[in-house]
Amino acid sequence: MGQTTSLRQEFIQFSVQSGVLRFGEFTTKAGRQSPYFFNAGLFHDGATLAQVAQFYAQTLLDSGVQFDMLFGPAYKGITLASATAVALAGKGRNTSFAFNRKEAKDHGEGGTIVGAKLQGKVVIIDDVISAGTSVRESVEMIRAAGAEPCAVLIALDRMERGGKDGQISDLSAVQEVTQKYGIPVISIGNLDDLFGFLNGAGADPQLAQYKDAVAAYRARYGIV
């Protein structure tokens, strides 16, 4: 357990240092004013992508989930699944992967799936889950191919209640995915880890100033 907790804290620290996890005032897709923002698209150089892939790979192996291959939904999931497959191979677990095109190819082999044939138990790899649309589309593609979606692996679980049109759900987007599809959602880090980082003895004073704002946001939108 201690090793897992350490990995999660290391991931939060790495995300902050990489500028992928930022603090301030941001507007989410749901129109909420959030004191933090996570953008995995900023893992855009070789060193940071290699490091985040190590976090994905180790988290997946530590989860104990039985899997045969990886699937990365377009677009961010493509890079994340590819890099995670490389990291897994480096840990002695050679795993095939596939991803989808946004539009079907009308020449060559055609179709929307690129890479390995979807088969067996498939882990969907993405950055975060907001509306769950990407997961739904991925689950449908995997099942249509006769394979089994067995888990979703994401970087950060915001642990935030969903909702739209001013209504707030009792469940987070992650919980809704688990409930709807009956598959676990594994995260490298979550809002509790983020708050723990800000609250830690070694926290940067410049970052510690956002602790109250994150606590207030969690109290208002966080899942119980």
**CA triple 119-120-121, angle to 5 deg:** 120
**Binding site, annotated residues:** 29, 37-38, 75-76, 101-102, 105, 107, 126-134, 158
Beta carbons of 176 and 169 less than 8 angstroms apart = yes
DSSP-derived letter for residue 107 is: S
Hey, which residues are catalytic here?
Answer: 105, 107
Chain center to CA of 63? 14
C-alpha to C-alpha distance for 178 and 158, rounded to whole angstroms: 15
Beta carbons of 12 and 190 less than 8 angstroms apart = no
**Binding site, annotated residues for 5-phospho-alpha-D-ribose 1-diphosphate:** 29, 75-76, 101-102, 105, 107, 126-134
Coil, strand or helix at 32: coil
Q: How far is CA 116 from CA 72, 111, 161, in A?
A: 12, 13, 35
What one-character-per-residue DSSP string does 113-132 give? EEESPP-SEEEEE-S--SSS
C-alpha to C-alpha distance for 98 and 93, rounded to whole angstroms: 16
**Binding site, annotated residues for orotate:** 37-38, 130, 158
